[in-house]
């Protein structure tokens, strides 16, 4: 949901949460993948936890855009998210 990772940045977290909450009873919920589209670790985690509470556990995560970082920085970004939301299934977008 929320389009490509570039499009996901154009939709506010509030709007994303509203749609996710409305989809929790959808018969196709097991097919949904949420593209978080956030540069912020905390915003990604907040949206992921909201999704999990509404029955969605699969996510498309991009590395932070607009910032310079090396491989270790990208690894640290994802590692931080996985440690805080271990029950999620994540597709890495590059």
Across residues 75-89, what is the average pLDDT? 94
Mutual angle of helices 41-53 and 71-84, in 10-degree steps: 30
Residue 78 near residue 92, CB atoms below 8 Å: yes
94 compared with 81, residue with greater pLDDT: 81
pLDDT tens track for 3-55: 666 677 778 889 999 999 999 889 999 999 998 878 888 999 999 999 999 99
The pLDDT, as a whole number, for residue 3 is 67
Output the pLDDT for position 90. Answer: 93
What does the block give as tokens for 31? 């097919």
Q: Are 63 and 50 in contact (CB under 8 A)?
A: no
Would you state the structure tokens that stand for residue 89, as one six-digit string? 């299934």
26: Cβ–Cβ under 8 A, 6 or more apart, which residues? 32
Alpha-carbon distance of 6 to 35, in angstroms, equals: 9
Residue 66 has pLDDT above 90, yes or no: no
Predicted pLDDT at 7 = 73
pTM of the full structure: 0.88
- Tell me what pLDDT residue 5 has: 61
């Amino acid at each position: 949901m929320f389009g490509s990772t570039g499009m996901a940045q154009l939709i506010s977290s509030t709007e994303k949460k509203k749609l996710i909450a409305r989809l929790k009873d959808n018969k196709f919920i097991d097919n949904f993948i949420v593209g978080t589209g956030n540069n912020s670790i905390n915003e990604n985690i907040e949206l992921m936890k909201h999704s999990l509470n509404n029955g969605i556990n699969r996510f498309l995560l991009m590395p932070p855009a607009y910032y310079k970082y090396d491989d270790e920085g990208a690894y640290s970004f994802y590692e931080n998210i996985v440690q805080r939301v271990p029950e999620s299934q994540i597709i890495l977008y590059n």
